[in-house]
A and B are shown apart, each in its own frame.
Chain A
Amino acid sequence: MAKVTLTVNGEARTASVSPETTLLRLLREEFGLTGSKLGCDVGDCGACTVMVDGKSVNSCLMLAVQADGRDVVTIEGLATMERLHPLQQLFEDKGSLQCGFCGPGIIISAKALLDENPDPTEEEIRDALAGNLCRCTGYSKMIEAVRAVARAGRDERTAGSVA
């Protein structure tokens, strides 16, 4: 067994896992964080996307031991009891998801994009979401939602600089 200590959504967590365990299994089965989904299990679908040290990765392709000492953010780390994350709120407002299975991965990919590039072009949004497959709704309303979050951020920054 291998001992793994990492930060998950701001909290230090430790687990003892067999070495071939993926980060996705660690999150879902040891920590009960079932927001990240097991889809294709080979990196094509993006349903398992989480952030590791600020970068989006497919957690089905990473060994849990490779995440030892790293900082992991999953969909569970975005909302507080009082408030959804702006991306979650706008995905809801715009009806961007139907069955929702791809949602956690898509929202994490969008967050990774906006963290680095708060005002992306539509092309950049499409590029950032290319590794996340949705089989229900299509992508237009998701892209709209991400654009709306970026626009709100821009308005806030402008208001901030005026005030």
Chain B
Amino acid sequence: MKAFEVVVARNSRHAVALLAERVPTAKVKVIAGGTDLMADLKFAPSSHAPDVVVDISRADDLRHISMTDAGLSIGALVTHTEIMRSPVIRDLFPALLDAAHTIGAVQTRNLGTLGGNLVTAVPSVDSGPTLVALDARVTLLSPAGQRAMPLADFFVGPRKTALKPDELLVDILIPRENLGKPACFLKFGLRKGQALALVNVAASFWVDWDRNVFVAPRIALGAVAPKVIHASSAQAYLEGRAIEPAAMAEAGRLAVGDAKPINDFRASAEYRRDLIAVLSRRALEGAYALAQSKRSGKVAGGLQASRRGER
């Protein structure tokens, strides 16, 4: 690994000040948990290696999970383990907990942060689909101030985001109108432990119980396009439609057309297309099951959590 300088940020403002100071004259990288960056650095050609690494792992102001007027705010430094253990997230969004649980293994989840996961922005990013399905917004901080945008727009392409070199991702917000919106995340990998997704899917919708129809349906797909995408035609098809198995199956078929899966060493595009249809349908079923159990006042742990419990 090429030698570099490490500067330690005390908090997010300090981190941004350090970025402002060093970015104009040096190749600078932020490190949070390091689970992506350290592995990259060990293989990076020295032309890509940073001169300066800004360590934000002690910026404790980015460690909150808190309810604000705008919605549920999750700091960029919150680890996957902390998401799994958050009572608020368990209560409001068990799908986020399920997604965190599928990331790497305990050691990775103890170090790896939500912010690092989103900034790395691999197409299979496991935190991506649920947050995109919940219309999450991200806040970026720079010396010029803050800007916010939908997470769906923050993702630009494989390992590409809207983040500028002097910006820090500080906050992930699930907007107030989506608090408690039933959602379900499903990941299909080649093993149960430490496997990247061949396909990952999140579905979320409100139920109009009087008419039993889908309201504001969302299906977000990962690993089947250059970035996490909305299955737009499936969403349009479901809006206002009666909730029944045939509609969920049809939405799954439509979602296949919204994606552009590739062939690689993990699976063929054809296999991925089959997975999209099946997982999208199951995620819709899972979100509906959660909606029903929430309505009947039961505490639910998410589809994957309850399936794990059954074994």
CB pairs A–B below 8 angstroms (23 shown) = A2-B6, A19-B3, A19-B4, A20-B53, A22-B38, A41-B42, A43-B35, A43-B107, A43-B108, A44-B194, A55-B110, A56-B106, A62-B38, A63-B6, A65-B8, A66-B34, A66-B57, A112-B106, A113-B106, A130-B193, A131-B107, A131-B108, A131-B194
CB proximity to A under 8 Å, residues B189-204: 192-194
B235 near A: Cβ within 8 Å? no
B43 to chain A: closest residue by CB: A42
* Residue of A2, A20, A22 ringed by the most chain B CB atoms within 10 A: A20
The reply to whether B55 and A131 contact each other, CB–CB distance below 8 Å, is no
A128 touches B39 (CB 8 A): no
Given contacts A56-B107, A62-B34, A66-B55, A130 and B194 within 8 Å (CB-CB) = yes
Interface of B is mostly: mixed
B1 contacts which chain A residues (CB < 8 A)? 20
Within 8 A of B (CB), among A108-147: 109, 112-113, 123, 126-128, 130-132
Judge if A16 is at the interface, Cβ distance under 8 Å: no
Q: Which of B135-192 contact A (CB under 8 A)?
A: 192
Q: Which of B33, B107, B192 lies at the interface centre, i.e. has the most chain A CB atoms within 10 A of its CB? A: B107
Instruction: Please give, as numbers and ranges, the residues of chain B lying within 8 Å of A126 by CB-CB distance.
Output: 193
* Alpha-carbon separation in the docked complex, A162 to B217 (Å): 56
Within residues 41 to 55 of chain A, which ones have a CB less than 8 A from any CB in chain B? 41-44, 46, 49, 55
Among A19, A58, A63, the residue within 8 A (CB) of B107 is: A58
Given A19-B6, A55-B110: 19 more A-B contacts, CB < 8 Å: A18-B3, A20-B2, A20-B4, A42-B42, A43-B38, A43-B107, A43-B108, A46-B105, A56-B110, A61-B33, A61-B38, A65-B8, A66-B31, A112-B106, A127-B193, A130-B193, A131-B104, A131-B105, A131-B106
Listed in ascending order, the chain B residues whose CB lies under 8 Å from chain A are 1-6, 8, 31, 33-35, 38-39, 41-42, 53, 55, 57, 81, 104-108, 110-111, 192-194, 308, 311
The answer to whether A63 and B104 have CB atoms under 8 Å apart is no
Contact indicator B192/A130 (Cβ below 8 Å): yes
Q: Distance (Å) between the CB of A57 and the closest chain B CB?
A: 5
Pair B39/A43 contact, Cβ less than 8 Å: yes
A53 to chain B, nearest CB (A): 10
Please name all residues of chain A whose beta carbon is closer than 8 Å to the beta carbon of B5 when the two chains form the complex: 19
Q: Which residues of A contact B110 (CB under 8 A)?
A: 55-57
Asked, given contacts A66-B57, A109-B107, whether A60 binds B38 with beta carbons under 8 Å apart, the answer is: yes
Residues from 8 to 66 in A contacting B, C-beta threshold 8 Å = 18-20, 22, 41-44, 46, 49, 55-58, 60-63, 65-66
The answer for the CA separation of A65 and B31 in the assembled complex, in Å, is: 12
Q: Which residues of B contact A18 (CB under 8 A)?
A: 3
Q: Which B-chain residue is minimally distant from A62 (CB atoms)?
A: B34
CB distance from A64 to the nearest CB of B (A): 9
Which residues of B are found within 8 Å of A19, using beta-carbon distances? 3-6, 53
Residue of B at shortest CB range from A22?
B38
- A20-B2, A22-B38, A55-B81 are known contacts. Are A65 and B55 too (CB-CB below 8 A)? yes
- The answer to whether B111 touches A58, judged by C-beta atoms less than 8 angstroms apart, is yes
The 10 closest A-B pairs by CB, nearest first: A131-B105, A130-B193, A19-B6, A42-B39, A55-B110, A61-B38, A130-B105, A131-B107, A58-B107, A61-B34
Among B31, B105, B108, B192, point to the contact of A63 (Cβ < 8 A). Answer: B31
Residue of B nearest to A61 (CB): B38
Q: Is the CB of B108 within 8 A of A127?
A: no
* Closest A residue by C-beta to B2: A20
Q: How far is the CB of B14 from chain A (nearest CB, A)?
A: 16
Return A72 CB to nearest CB of chain B, in Å: 13
Q: From residue A88, how far is it (CB to closest CB) to chain B in Å? A: 20
Q: Which residue of A lies closest to B193 (CB)?
A: A130
Smallest CB separation, B32 vs chain A (Å)? 10
Contact status of A130 and B55, CB under 8 A, knowing A20-B2, A42-B42, A62-B111: no
